[in-house]
Structure 1
Amino acid sequence: MSETTSATSPASADGAPRTNRVELLQQLTGTIGTVYKARNPKIDRLVALRQIQVPEWLDDVNELIKRMMEEARAANVLDHPGIARLYTGGFKEVTVFLTSEFIEGPTLREYVSSKNPGLPEIMALAKQLCAALDYAHEKKVVHHALNPANIKVLPGGTLKILDFGLLREKHLYSPIPAKRLENEHYVSPEQLRGKPVDRTANLFSVATILYELFTTRNPFAGKHLGEVDRNITDVEPHAASLAHPRVSEAISKVLMKALSKNPAARFQTGQELIAALEEARSAAPAKAAAAAANSTGVRAAVTTASVPKAPSPNGSSTGITAAIPAARPQVPPAPKTMTSVKPVTTTNAAPAKLPAKALVQWKTVAAFVAVLFMVSAAAISLRHRSDTPPAETPPENSASQKPGTVEAVAMPGSSIQVHEVQRKSGREKSSKAELPPAPIAAAEGQLAVTSSPDGALVEIAGRSESWKTPQTIVALAPGTYKVTISKAGYAPETRSIEVASGSRASLDVKLAPTKGYLTVASTPAGVHIAIDGKETGKVSPAEFNLDPAVHTITLHHEGYLDSTSDIKLAAGQSVSYSPSLKLAGRTDNIQVVGGFKKMFSGKSGQGMARMEIKTDPKGAAVTINGTSLSKTTPLEIQIEPGNYEITLQKDGYKPVHTSVLAQANDKLKIDESLKK
């Protein structure tokens, strides 16, 4: 395959000539291909060089390279302060080379881990990210692998998106499952289903990143690729307001819309997403301020209007403090007429009649006052009540009484005497109604519990219910609670936390692991798994919590060669083991043909391979894929194409194990020296 020209513009920004020779300075980490920090000596410019080895065995290798070059050519036009420039792109045979602007600084993942930004910083980063993507989308360019690892944050908070022009193709990924797992969480559902990437897919990735910035947790977290993919395509994430207490419900709703599985239901531009976040962010403080103002107004109105005032000698009204004297009060010689009660008033009121129906309203207002009064006021009221003698009943034929009226004399801390006069009989029927001395009806509180990792069991001492993190527990009476958080493979944590009236307390616990975590996947799936020589009864993919140690993992499947590996696990360590099993060659039609002279001169059967096996000393038994041959070494056999594991063994000598891949018409030779 001939070398093509690069995908650069005719002239670079600085007018320097192009070159395909660079000096490699340092190898960097990368999920796709190998990335180097390099220097172009001709123009003395640092660049990031990505070298991608396209698998030569692909049927459409030429088509794939062509698409990679087209993607690079499209991204080459991007010139935005929030996007790293792509300088050149080209290929030689099946190796693709891309050079781009080298950006020094931490990735977004590293930046967040070290700085823990607040909401203003998160919003500033979100605006830059969305503005850069909107610019690229206007140029008809999309990002195929947007994640925190290819976003860098410069000093001063400037954001740069890397890897525009890099095609996302499964055969180009890093073969290490752990590296793929890091970035799989940010892929959109339609990408996983093999559909083309568009702007809404990019905005889904942005929403996933923003969710993680706001809550410090990924909405689709999983221990292996299969679990992550299922979470993205089929599972609705926890609301962001439940995942972290600092996220308001308004912001949470915006994020959940942006994470919709349906592309049409998401925001269609980054500007729309930012506008919705700004509105939600401004609405939360305004709503809280309005609620606080409303609460203050209610308390002021109740304080002013709900306590009856008696006229003072000079004609002005006295406040509630006049009803609580410092010394023991004396019972007045004659009852005083109460003023009528209105919802809100600060003006002096003349004595008014109080009908029986108004008495019920007065008692309701008094009860509301009791709820809102401070505990200290209640204590004072209780103390004065204990010191005050019962009030005297006013005379039956008082001159101030009028037929059909209700009069009450309120003494500090005492009960209220109600006198109801019957019109017809002229008799007075008296009933005594007790006003409780300001009981406190405490408002319920909430408790938001989060853990690392998620999915831990939450239990509260004395309660039968249990929950899974992240969780906000509501309807909790004010008080101190003993909370236990536990998860298999981790040491349980017990904390005491106080829940205040009308507020939400937060509890975030990082569990200490006691076991190691092994994720086993395979190609093909459905392979039987044995650990330390014992069958687990599980097939791949599967997860295991194992004691810290070196464990022998064996995968076996009919028609394939066994795959065995020793894996060392430490407490808290997560390890992925994902081998591709080799298709075993057939052993039922192996033919022993013998004769060394036929090795390179004899003709094989159509599509068959020949293998010569020799040992020193001679006479070693031969086992191929678990099948023992009748003849010992030396010998020549004819086999079908496939993978073969061969064991050579002779009494008094150590066995020799080797494996070969036989292809059609191959001529293979094995020559081993046995050791005692």
Structure 2
Amino acid sequence: MELNKLGRYEITQVLGQGAMGIVYKGVDPKIGRTVALKTLKTAGEIPADQLAEFQRRFEQEAQSAGRLTHPNIVTIYDVGEEQGLAYIAMEFIKGKALDEYISEKSPFSIDQIVNIMVQICEGLGYAHKNGVIHRDIKPANIVLTDDHIAKITDFGIAKITSTSATQTGMVVGTPSYMSPEQITGRGVDNRSDIFSIGAVFYELLTYERAFPGDNITTVMYRVVHENPTPLSVANMSVPAQFDQIVMKALAKNPADRYPDAESMGKDIQNYKNAASTQIASTQAFNPADYKGTVVMSSKTAATMAVPASSATTPPAASSSAPVQSATKNKPIVLISTITAVVCAVLLYIIFGIFTSSEKASLQIALNILKGTAVLDGTDYQIENGQLAVQNVSAEEHELLIKHEGYDDFKTKLLFAENEEKKLNVTMKLAPVQFPSGVDTAYLTISSKPDIIAVQTNTGKFIGYTPLLKVPFPVGKHTLVYSKEYYGTQTKDVDLRKKREYKDALNLEVKKGSISVSDVNPKKVQVILDGTTLKPEKDGVTYIVPFGKRKITLKQEGYKPFEQEVVINSQETLKLNSTLEQLFGAISITSVPSEADVFIDGNNVGKTPLKLDKVAAGQREIKVQKGNLVSIKKFIVIENQENNLAELKLLASVGYLKLVVNPWAKIYVDGKSMGSSPPVDNLELKPGTYKIKIENPAYRPVTKNVTINAGSTTSLQHDFK
């Protein structure tokens, strides 16, 4: 039977069908919002025991995801049942899952992967803080929208930490991404999800699963007992810092993993600033190497650990020389490192002369375009529905947000040191009071895009879309719809007493274009206000919204070029920039030496070889010598660094040593090779061959032999 409606939702099409039920695309007619409707199969379609498990998962998803509101988690709007058919109304997403990108081997840049992973960590960290453990994080459950926003989906087997659902001993999840404790049926916490994030990160960087296998048993064994192939081997072009991040996330012991998703996200985001052998934000200290901890602040419980070895390390000559000259003919007092630290702390406690540099930050996204935010008495203006406040002290703050026609929003926020707090605020329209005797109608207005300002032509502000049954005086009015970078629309309306006026807007963005036909080098990556653009068919023209914009041009091996530009509607802005090419050095060695070296197909000399000026970026290094197997290696040449490439050449042939008495004709796969002796050492490519030995006085002999590269295989036969 064709389904046209579920509850109040009007169904427009079928999006897909899975084991649990069908997913529809629908519309909420009350507010004009497009939704995805996930349904559950009925009793007549599947066995009773399976239905019970599906019902449990269905309710679990509604309960788990329904309590979460975060830009990187799919939003649950509603749960209901219609004639025995249960459904969940959730956010409709335009995009596709990461597993589709991976199977297609879509070319993600390192920066794009970092952006995706940081978003996943932020969304999952939010879920963990709200007591929800996902337990089935995998590429198929992460959707990347057309706007490059990562959304975590499918909380069907999530665990709410305040409940006893799914006890120890029950195994749920997808084996390739499950943690060892999940597979062995032990209790799980948020660190189980961190293991899964590590497996997803590995797959995005290599297009290979961290724990592959032909069957579930093999996969589960590898997850519990084996480490994955190192990233530096699976994909040599991946930054070395990622090796440690991934291995920390995929640690077998939960205690060795990141304590929370935010810590992992921070290390991923800051990978360029971290040494390849140390990830600063998650450095694990050995308590035995440290002695003495001192309180750094009365407001925060931060401590400093002082290395025991530092107390006995003599000062460097360069730092001690000025001290000696400044203290000549005076007693010299030597202060150990620990004493110095304690003194510094005492000065801070007594005089407050140190100010912490560990500042936090706040980012707010709102459903209003403008307004005023007041943080501890300081006013900040909201623009385009966004507000960013830097250098927030690590303590409690009071936040007030206000806008004409909306209720004030008040809250208290507690910041930790270095915390990057993100807040989504939904402002609510304040009740409207009209004088007695004024008849009213109702305005219901939806729009694309969201958050369009609605006012009258006389300047009376009504609110931002979507508006739902907002009372307004009856009569004839001219409504004005506007948003920055979009065209303005006006509509004449005649509002009738107690009647609802409905409107669905679609404002067209004002656009211009930019051309990079005169930019060098060609085929640069164009980024507008942080979003990577796709060119038109000519490959050099980009359609962009008008207004003041920040353009970034990137090309591997070149210094990024940034420029503030003004895009005018219906006009083309021609860019004529030349990006600065970057160079590094490289030293190439091989075993054996004296091998020919090719860089990107060009012969540049023989090993050992050092080149002081090689274009930065990924380069193909190839070495070859004689009949040895040539070796290719992709290396990223870092700017102003000496890069190393060490390659070992392998033999391309093997040898067959023949000892035949008294003598014989030799055939290899039917081809005559002469007589032995003297044919006693044949050069052959690796493989298996059929060797025939013939002497007219004896019966022929046929033997199979396997030749390995670089080695000699012996074969002896004595005719009798």
- Which is greater in Rg? 1
TM over 0.5: no
Larger relative contact order, structure 1 or 2 (CA cutoff 8 Å, min sep 6):
1
Q: TM-score range by the shorter chain?
A: 0.3 to 0.5
Instruction: Please give the TM-score of this superposition, normalised by the length of structure 2.
Output: 0.35
- The structure that is helix-richer by fraction is 1
| TM-score for both structures, normalised by structure 1 | 0.37
